Amino acid sequence: MSDMGVIVKTNARALIPLIGVFGSYIILHGHLTPGGGFQGGATIVGTALLFLIAFGVDEAKKRINKDLYSALEGIGGLVFLGAAMLGLSVAFFYNILWHKGPLFNGRPGTLLSAGFLPIMNLGVGLKVFTGLVSAVFALALFRRWKE
C-alpha cells in the first residue's frame, strides 16, 4: 500500500494527537458524559487508522509492535477483571470503592467518583484500542490480493 500525498500527511501529523486526546477524554469521562470505554477506544483507533492510511503500511510496520499490543490487550482485560474482584468479600462486581474505598468516592459529577467505573472504562478502552489496531493492522498486512 503506498502512502498519501504531502497535504494528507501533514494534516495527519497535526490531527493524530488531537484525536488521541479526545478519545482519552471520552474514556476518562465515561461515568459523567456520553461515551465510555468502547466509544473512546474506538475513537483512538481512528489515530492508528489515520496513521496507517496516511503514512502507509511500511511505515506502520516499523512503529507497531505486535507483542506490545497483544500484551496491552491482555492487561486491559485483567484491569477490568481486577476491578470487578475488588469487592469480592461482599459479591462479585460489588462496587466497594464507591461504598468505602479510599479513592473514587468523591462527590458525584467530579472525575474521581463512581467507584470502579473509571478504572473499568480505562481497561475497556485499552483493550478495544489495542485489539482493533491489531485486527486492522493484520488485515492491512494480508499478503496479497490474489494468489
Partner 1 sequence: MSFITAFIWSYFMWLILTAGSKGLLWNSQELIAGLIFSAIVGYATRNIIGERASRFLNPVKWILFIAYAPVLFWGMIKANLDVAYRVITGKIRPGIVKVPVNLENDAQYTILSNSITLTPGTLTIEASPEEKVLYVHWINIPKGLEWPESSEPVSGPFEKWARRLGK
Q: How far apart are CA 28 and CA 123, in angstroms?
A: 11
User: Is residue 27 within 8 Å of 69, Cβ to Cβ?
Assistant: no
Q: Is position 11 an interface residue for partner 1 (rule: CB under 8 A)?
A: yes
Q: Indicate the residue among 87 and 126 with the shorter CB distance to partner 1.
A: 126
| Cβ at position 132, least distance to partner 1 in Å | 16
The 109-128 site mask, x for binding partner 1 (CB under 8 A), equals -xxx----------------
Does 98 engage in binding with partner 1 (CB under 8 A)? Answer: no
List of residues 6+ apart from 75 with CB closer than 8 A: 123, 126
Tell the smallest beta-carbon distance from residue 95 to partner 1 (Å): 19
3-state secondary structure of 110: strand
The CA dihedral of 16, 20, 22, 26, to the nearest 10 degrees, is 150
Task: From 2-10, 72-80, 85-93, 130-138, give the range in contact with partner 1 by CB under 8 A.
Answer: 2-10
Neighbours of 69 (CB within 10 A): 18
Which residue number, 4 or 86, has a Cβ lying nearer to partner 1? 4
Residues that bind partner 1 (CB under 8 A): 5-7, 9-14, 16-18, 20-22, 24-25, 28, 47, 51, 63, 106, 110-112
